[in-house]
Amino acid sequence: MSGFIPVRLNQFVEQYLRKNKDADGDTVRAAVEDALAAWRHGVRCACGNPLWVAGSAVAGYGCFTCITGSAEPDGDPEIDAACDGFFFEANDTEDRFAQVSEIMKNHPRDYRERLEEAGFAWQDDEYDPLYEEEIKEEHVAVPETENQQRLVHFLNTGGPVIRQVLDAYLEERYSETSNLPLIRKYFKQANPNLKAILLNGLAANPTNLELLDDLSYFSEFDSMLGELIHFYTDAGI
Ligand SMILES: [Zn+2]
């Protein structure tokens, strides 16, 4: 079978815990909910593809291809709510999907109402105007100074975090005229090169509160809580 197998969030967490005995159920559930919220908000993989929610929950935000290295899913799990625009509680997922495609085929104009009649509930879009505004700002943000160009070049291409890179970041991040949407975009993508800057910066300055704050913000988009706690412990906070 090719494509994703839709699974309910509970199912996914249970399956994951069965295979990863050391994992904590609440943490896994929170990570899935977080990835799902990001997906609903239109956060995408660094490559531009939509997020693979199930994979993003355990591997950090990314699309299926970037996370697994495979071109296409082949029976891999995906959270059902991310497979379509609606959410349902049914035991027999395949039957429900067959029912949905039937309704959509036969009632292309009013499938929404028909689906509701059939017992499907549309999930409330958690519309967050501030978040939407941020996304718009980030979309149009481009490097405006040489320093921003240097920084964005590193964030896009990576490489060793040399002193100049760290300085470019610190200068940009804490300047009065900081191009915040430009940098925020990389936080939301859980950009690995940005993570490298933060971790290197903290390795050199374990008590730098601003870098700790940044790492904390970054961790909202990446499953790296362990590393975060490690740094907070080192800093004695
Ligand atoms: Zn990708």
What are the tens digits of pLDDT across the range 160-179? 988 889 999 988 887 877 88
Expressed as residue numbers, the domain containing 10 is 3-85
pTM as predicted: 0.45
Residue 221 CA, ligand 1 centroid: distance in Å: 15
* Alpha carbon of 236 to ligand 1 centroid (Å): 36
Last residue of a domain, one of 20, 50, 85: 85
Quick one: 16 and 77 in the same domain? yes
| In a shared domain, residues 51 and 149 | no
Lowest mean pLDDT among 97-101, 169-173, 179-183, 227-231: 227-231
CA–centroid distance, 118 to ligand 1, in Å, is 35
Does 33 score more than 90 pLDDT?
Answer: yes
Q: How close is the Cα of 205 to the center of ligand 1, in Å?
A: 32
**CB under 5 Å of ion ligand 1: residues:** 45, 47, 49, 63, 66
Contacts for 77 with CB less than 8 Å, ≥ 6 apart: 4, 5, 6, 7, 12, 15, 54
Residue whose structure tokens are 């730098």? 208
In a domain, 91, yes or no: no
**How many domains, the chain?**
2
C-alpha 168, offset from chain centre = 25
Is the domain of 71 the same as that of 140? no
Q: Which of 85, 113, 146 is the last residue of a domain?
A: 85
Backbone torsions φ then ψ of 50, nearest 5 degrees: -60, 155
Within a domain: 117: no
Compute the distance from residue 64 Cα to the ligand 1 centre, in Å: 7
